């Protein structure tokens, strides 16, 4: 006898969120508990504690933070053997940001690479160099360094296409949806990623810290 499996079952995707129940939820909770995430007990019910633990796991593993378990989250969760934390990145990232802030108000100079005047990539390169991290000179080459991240943390690089459909401007993520960069008119400053000018030009972020 031929058994036909409906396509929606044959290719079912993981999609667990608050109030979900079942063995898949139990598996998630058991794994999170083993990794020392704040799961009080394994119940098979996707409660608020599970939701918050999943968000923390996603954040620590550089995943899109939704609090929902999709295929990617489930796959990485099953492969994880220890709890990752962003502490090392945060410490290095904070040092990067604090170095950059020392140059608030430094003017924009085309081709500038020193505290007398910076262009965008010259500023990024200089700040990272002060923290013993070498980066390429131009924004398009810096865009090829490191790994893509959808959830930038302090010290990650952010990129924009200001005059071409390629990375032509860059800055340093400063937390709370802001970034430190060199404005052509106002010099070194902090702006928001959701600023009406910058938002449509945003290309994405890359993690370059070792």
Beta strands in the chain (DSSP E): 15-16, 69-70, 113-114, 117-118, 147-149, 157-160, 169-175, 178-183, 187-192, 202-207
Cα 76 from Cα 159, distance rounded (Å): 27
Strands 169-175 and 157-160: antiparallel
Is 170 assigned a catalytic role? no
Is 169 assigned a catalytic role? yes
Question: Which of 25, 69, 120, 174 is flagged as catalytic?
Answer: 120
Question: Which of 31, 68, 169, 206 is flagged as catalytic?
Answer: 169
Question: Which of 181, 190, 193, 207 is flagged as catalytic?
Answer: 181
Cα 138 from Cα 87, distance rounded (Å): 29
Beta strands in 59-200 (DSSP E): 69-70, 113-114, 117-118, 147-149, 157-160, 169-175, 178-183, 187-192
Tallying the residues shown for the chain, one arrives at 210
Is 176 assigned a catalytic role? no
**Catalytic residue list:** 120, 169, 181
């Amino acid at each position: 006898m031929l058994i036909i499996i409906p396509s929606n079952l044959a290719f079912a995707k993981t999609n667990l969120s608050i109030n979900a129940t079942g063995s898949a939820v139990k598996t998630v909770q058991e794994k999170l508990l083993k990794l020392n995430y704040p799961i009080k007990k394994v119940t098979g019910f996707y409660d608020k504690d599970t939701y918050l633990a999943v968000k923390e796991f996603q954040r620590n593993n550089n995943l899109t933070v939704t609090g929902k378990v999709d295929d990617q989250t489930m796959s990485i969760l099953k492969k994880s053997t220890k709890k990752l934390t962003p502490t090392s990145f945060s410490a290095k990232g904070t040092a990067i940001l604090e170095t950059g802030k020392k140059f608030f108000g430094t003017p924009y100079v085309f081709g500038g690479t020193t505290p007398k005047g910076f262009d965008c990539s010259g500023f990024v390169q200089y700040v990272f160099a002060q923290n013993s991290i070498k980066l390429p000179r131009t924004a398009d080459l810096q865009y090829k360094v490191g790994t893509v991240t959808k959830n930038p943390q302090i010290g990650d690089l952010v990129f924009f296409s200001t005059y071409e459909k390629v990375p032509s401007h860059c800055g340093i993520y400063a937390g709370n949806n802001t970034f430190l960069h060199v404005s052509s008119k106002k010099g070194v400053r902090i702006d928001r990623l959701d600023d009406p000018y910058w938002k449509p030009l945003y290309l994405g972020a890359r993690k370059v810290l070792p």
